[in-house]
Amino acid sequence: MKAVHFGAGNIGRGFIGLLLHEAGYELVFADVAAPLIDALAASESYTVHEVGAGARDHVVTGYSALNSATDEGAVRAAIADADVVTTAVGPTILRFIAPHIVAALEARDAARGPLVVMACENAINATDLLRDEMSNLVPTGEWEALASRAVFANTAVDRIVPGQSADAGLDVTVETFSEWAIESGSFGSDVPEIPGAHFVDDLAPYIERKLFTVNTGHATVAYAGFLAGHERISDALADPAVAEIVETALRETSALLVAKHEFDPAVQDAYRETILERFANTALPDTVDRVGRQPLRKLSRHERFIGPAAELAERGLPTAGLLAAIAAAVRFDVPADEQSVELKRLRTELSPERFAAEVCGIDASHPLFDPLVAALA
């Protein structure tokens, strides 16, 4: 069995690559970062170091590495001959991955079984986004035939993998917790064997619970923590003023998840508590800069703040905690982060009303509009 994984970064090496390796796949990493790909190609193994209670080390071996910017022929040949292709590159990068998979499907031997395509990103239905980017590249009338050579499955990926220290080499430090949920519907009876992943009939409750609890909470710690002057996530959460905003925001998203997906309230409370314990892990060197990265993406319509706040407002439920988090998010000022710089510019150029409409996708007809505009002012 062969898998090609795009994005040999933190979650790529620290989780998806590890699980595919442990599942017995011959693994090819593809990335555009030349030093990273050169180092992987020259290495025989790297180690995933877990930190926290029950931590273990895992050694990943037997992989190869290709530069998808300079060696696209080899990357496409590898995908054409693979069973599985996965991504962990960021949702906005999927459009750059799409041409490789389209070309590989065109070159694929028709007798070969279908290629399993799974985007492992923090976004709702990221694999559907990737499939849409692919279909946009194919002439009308030809997509159905090409798409029949692949199976597309949405996934939800959860493991905190912080930025790695400069002297770590290829090794990755991760938390012990992990969850990879994969929607099973498109596989029929031919579900891939990936121990460590679990297959679910309907991914929507899983991905929304993950994005609107783990990622809403995480981003709230990051933005409120940044404003309070903290660098590390664990320090930020230890600040009672930050913790209070996080608790309020997560009580609100929990109310939505329970109402919408009928989660047992006690189970959701326990899930939320586990997540706060994960953020508080002092052995995990995670930072507000990493967790708050790309604030414009995080403030967009279907993301971790506006997504749940809009649905809560539509149901007449409280949103004060999420709005406090949004008010902190728009003040995230990290010069090394391109979107933070762009956010700063937009805040000087756009009125709160235009910011709500153009960045957050909420216009005056929506019940969230007035409170959102007040939070943005």
Ligand X SMILES: NC(=O)c1ccc[n+]([C@@H]2O[C@H](COP(=O)([O-])OP(=O)(O)OC[C@H]3O[C@@H](n4cnc5c(N)ncnc54)[C@H](O)[C@@H]3O)[C@@H](O)[C@H]2O)c1
Ligand Y SMILES: O=P(O)(O)OC[C@@H](O)[C@@H](O)[C@H](O)[C@H](O)CO
CB of 56: closest distance to ligand X in angstroms? 18
Give the C-alpha distances (Å, rounded to integers) separating 359 from 49, 222, 270, 300, 343. 38, 20, 33, 6, 9
Task: Quote the least distance from Cβ 329 to ligand X, whole Å.
Answer: 16
Residue 9 binds: one of ligand X, ligand Y, none (C-beta under 5 to 8 A by kind): ligand X
- CB-nearer residue toward ligand Y: 114 or 225: 225
Q: Which of 31, 50, 158, 311 binds ligand Y (CB under 6 A)?
A: 158
* Count of C-beta atoms within a 10 Å radius of residue 267: 11
CB-based burial label for 134 (10 Å; 0-12, 13-18, 19+): buried
Backbone Cα Rg of the chain = 21
Stretch that binds ligand Y, among 157-165, 261-269, 323-331, 351-359 (CB under 6 A): 157-165
Q: Where are the beta strands (DSSP E) in 45-149?
A: 45-51, 57-61, 64-67, 84-87, 115-119
Q: For residue 276, which of 332, 330, 236, 319 has the smallest C-alpha distance?
A: 236
Cβ–Cβ < 8 Å for 252, 312: yes
Binding residues for ligand X (CB under 6 A): 6-12, 30-33, 36, 68, 88-91, 93, 96-97, 121-122, 157, 159-161
**57 in Cβ contact with 48 (< 8 Å):** yes
* Residues of the binding site for NAD(+): 3-14
Closest contact distance (angstroms) between CB of 218 and ligand Y is 4
Specify whether the CB–CB gap between 130 and 100 falls below 8 A: no
| Closer CB to ligand X, 96 or 187, in the complex | 96
160 lies in the binding site for ligand Y (CB under 6 A): yes
Burial 172-209 (b: 16+ CB within 10 A, else e): bbbbbbbebbbbbebeeeeebebeebebbeebebbbbb
DSSP lists the bridge partners of residue 2 as 26
Q: How far is the CB of 131 from ligand X (least distance, A)?
A: 16
Q: Which does 218 bind (CB under 5 to 8 A by kind): ligand X, ligand Y, none?
A: ligand Y
Asked if 7 contacts 89 with a C-beta cutoff of 8 angstroms, the reply is yes
Q: Which residue is nearest to ligand X (CB)?
A: 9
Nearer to ligand Y, 33 or 138 (CB): 33
Percent of the chain that is helix, strand, coil (3-state, to 5): 50, 15, 35
115-119 β-sheet, strand order: 64-67, 26-31, 2-6, 84-87, 115-119, 150-152
Q: How far is the CB of 103 from ligand Y (least distance, A)?
A: 28
**293-332 footprint of ligand Y as x/- string (CB under 6 A):** xx--------------------------------------
Contacts to ligand Y from residues 112-141, by CB under 6 A = 122
Candidate ranges 75-83, 236-244, 286-294, 313-321; the one touching ligand Y (CB under 6 A): 286-294
Closer to ligand X at the Cβ: 161 or 309?
A: 161
Query: Should residue 287 be labelled a site residue for ligand Y when binding is judged by CB under 6 A?
Result: no
Residue 8 site contact among ligand Y, ligand X, none (CB < 5 to 8 Å, cut-off depends on kind): ligand X
* Cβ contact 118:153 at 8 Å: yes
234 binds, among ligand Y, ligand X, none (CB under 5 to 8 A by kind): none
218 binds ligand Y per the rule CB under 6 A:
yes
Chain residues in the site for ligand Y (CB under 6 A): 122, 158-160, 214-215, 218, 291, 293-294
